[in-house]
Amino acid sequence: MDVRSVIDVEQRLIQEVALILCKEPAAIKPDVSLPSLGLDSMGFVELLVVIEKAFGLRLIESGLTREDFETIHALAARISKEAPG
């Protein structure tokens, strides 16, 4: 099983966050906090659904923490370790 690269996961998350926020992907910076990008609680729920579907992670069992959701980059790093190839 291949481990997903952090860059691939990060790019997918940028695309998804851009869709959720109705912004261009270029406007989504991976090192900026999700709330600073404009992600509210409803957007956060949408992102959680995307993570489960796109990366095959069961969030309840994944062990993701609040710190993992600080930025897209932090989230991508954790997902790339946890998600099945």
**Tens-place pLDDT, residues 11-56:** 999 999 999 999 999 999 999 999 999 999 999 999 999 999 999 8
Q: Write the DSSP string, the chain.
A: -PPPPHHHHHHHHHHHHHHHHT--GGG--TTSBHHHHT--HHHHHHHHHHHHHHH---HHHH---GGGGSBHHHHHHHHHHHS--
Host domain of residue 30 = 6-82
Tally of domains in the chain: 1
Using 50, 70 and 90 to split pLDDT, how confident is the model at 85?
low
Query: Which pTM value belongs to this model?
Result: 0.89
CATH number of the domain at 77, please.
Answer: 1.10.1200.10
* pLDDT on residue 2: 43
Residue 1 lies in a domain: no
Using 50, 70 and 90 to split pLDDT, how confident is the model at 83?
confident
